[in-house]
Structure 1
Amino acid sequence: MSAPLRLVLFDVDGTLVDSQGAIISAMTACFQAQSLSVPSRDAILSIVGLSLPHAMARLAADQTDRVQDALVDGYKQAYHAQRLELGAASSPLYPDARQVIEVLHAMPEVLLGVATGKSQRGLDALLEAHELEQYFVTRQVADHHPSKPHPSMIETALAETGVDAAQAAMVGDTSFDMDMAKAAQVAGIGVSWGYHDRSALKAARHVIETFEQLPGALAKIWG
Structure 2
Amino acid sequence: MRLILFDVDGTLIDSKAVIHASMRLTLQRWGYDEPSGEATRTLIGLTLDTAIARLLQREVDDEILAMVSDYKDIYLQLSRQPEMQSLPFAGIASLLDRLARRDDVLLGLATGKSRRGVHTMLQTPHFSGRFSVARCADDCPSKPHPAMVLECCDETNISPSNTLMIGDTSFDMEMAAAARATGLGVGWGYHPAERMLTAGASAVAHSSQALQTMVDDWLDGETLGEPAEPADLFQGMRNFQYA
TM-score (norm 2): 0.85
Q: 1:74-116 CA distances to partner (integer Å, 9 max, x unpaired)? A: 21111011223449x6111000000000011111101100000
* Shift in Å, 1:65: 2.7
Residues 211-220 or 95-104, more deviating:
211-220
What is the aligned-residue identity percentage?
Answer: 36
Q: C-alpha root-mean-square deviation of aligned residues, in Å?
A: 1.7
Residue of structure 1 equivalent to 2:227: none
Q: 2:113 pairs with 109, 118, 131, which one?
A: 118
- More deviation, 128-137/179-188: 128-137
Structure in which a larger fraction of residues adopt helix? 1
| SS of residue matched to 1:132 | coil
- What residue is the counterpart of 1:220 in the other structure? 217
CA shift digits 1:155-206 (9 cap, x unpaired): 1111111112222100000000000000011110000000011111021011
Q: 1:62 to 1:165 in 2, by over 3 A?
A: closer
| SS of equivalent residue, structure 2 residue 87 | coil
Q: Which residue is 2:95 aligned to?
A: 100
What does residue 36 of structure 1 align with?
Answer: 32
Equivalent position of 2:205 in the other structure: 208
Change (3 A) 1:187 1:64: closer
CA–CA separation in structure 2 for the residues paired with 1:192 and 1:121: 27
Structure 1 equivalent of residue 73 of structure 2 = 77
One-letter amino acid of the structure 2 residue matched with residue 109 of structure 1: D
CA distance in 1, matches of 2:107, 2:59: 39
Residue of structure 2 equivalent to 1:50: 46
Q: How many residues align?
A: 218
Task: Supply the distance in 2 between the matched residues of 1:144 and 1:86 (Cα, whole angstroms).
Answer: 30
What's 1:10 paired with? 6
Q: After the TM superposition, which parts of structure 1 deviate over 4 Å for at least 4 consecutive aligned residues?
A: none
Work out the CA distance in 2 between the residues paired with 1:208 and 1:22: 25
Aligned residue in 2 for 1:160? 155
Q: Distance in 2 between matches of 1:78 and 1:167?
A: 39
Counterpart AA for 2:91: D
1:132-211 equivalences under 5 Å are 132-201=127-196, 202=198, 203-211=200-208
The separation in 2 between residues aligned to 1:70 and 1:184, in whole angstroms, is 31
**How far apart, CA to CA, are the structure 2 residues paired with 1:70 and 1:31?**
11
Residue 218 of structure 1: CA displacement? 2.2
- The residue type equivalent to 1:165 in the other structure is P
Aligned-residue offset at 1:144: 1.0
SS at match of 1:171: strand
Residues 33-66 of structure 1 deviation map (CA, whole Å, 9 limit, x = unaligned): 1121111111101111100111111011259834
Q: Work out the CA distance in 1 between the residues paired with 2:66 and 2:37.
A: 20
> Would you say the 8 A contact 2:93–2:126 is kept in 1?
no
Amino acid at match of 2:143: K
Mapped to 1, the partners of 2:152 and 2:118 lie a distance apart of 16
Unaligned runs of 5+ in 1: none
The 8 Å contact of residues 60 and 68 in structure 1, kept in 2 or not, is answered as no
